[in-house]
Amino acid sequence: MNIIKLANEVEVAKKAAEIIEEEVKQNRNAVLGLATGSSPILTYQNLIKAFKANEVSFSDVKTFNLDEYEGLQPTHPQSYRYFMNDQLFNHIDIKIENTYVPEGINNVRPESYDELIKENGGIDLQLLGLGVNGHVGFNEPGTSFESLTSEVDLAQETIEVNAKKFFNGDLSEVPTKAYSMGLKSIMNAKKILLIATGESKAEAINALLNATISEDWPCTILRNHKDVTIIVDSEAGKLI
List residues with catalytic annotation: 67, 133, 135, 140
Judged by CB under 6 A, does residue 51 bind ligand GLP?
no
Residue nearest to ligand GLP (CB): 129
CB atoms within 10 A of CB 95: 12
Interface with ligand GLP by CB under 6 A: which range of 23-31, 56-64, 124-132, 144-152?
A: 124-132
C-beta of 11 vs 60, nearer to ligand GLP:
11
Residue 156 interacts with ligand GLP (CB under 6 A): yes or no: no
Query: Which among 100, 85, 87 has a CA at the least distance from the CA of 42?
Result: 87
Listed in sequence order, the DSSP H helices in the chain are: 9-26, 41-52, 80-87, 110-119, 156-166, 183-187, 202-210
Of residues 56 and 130, the one with the C-beta less far from ligand GLP:
130
How near is the Cβ of 210 to ligand GLP at its closest, in Å?
Answer: 20
Compose the 64-83 pattern: x for residues touching ligand GLP by CB under 6 A, - for all others: --xx----------------
Question: What gap in Å lies between CA 47 and CA 63, rounded to an integer?
Answer: 14
Torsion angle of alpha carbons 83, 55, 125, 29, nearest 10°? 100
Give the nearest distance from C-beta 26 to ligand GLP in angstroms: 25
Among 37, 110, 134, 218, binds ligand GLP (CB under 6 A): 37
Q: Is the dihedral of CA 63, 123, 51, 69 positive or negative?
A: positive
Minimum Å gap between C-beta 114 and ligand GLP is 17
- Is residue 138 near ligand GLP by the rule CB under 6 A? yes
Neighbours of 2 (CB within 10 A): 9
9, 16, 39, 124: which one binds ligand GLP (CB under 6 A): 39
How many Å apart are CA 20 and CA 43, to the nearest integer?
A: 9
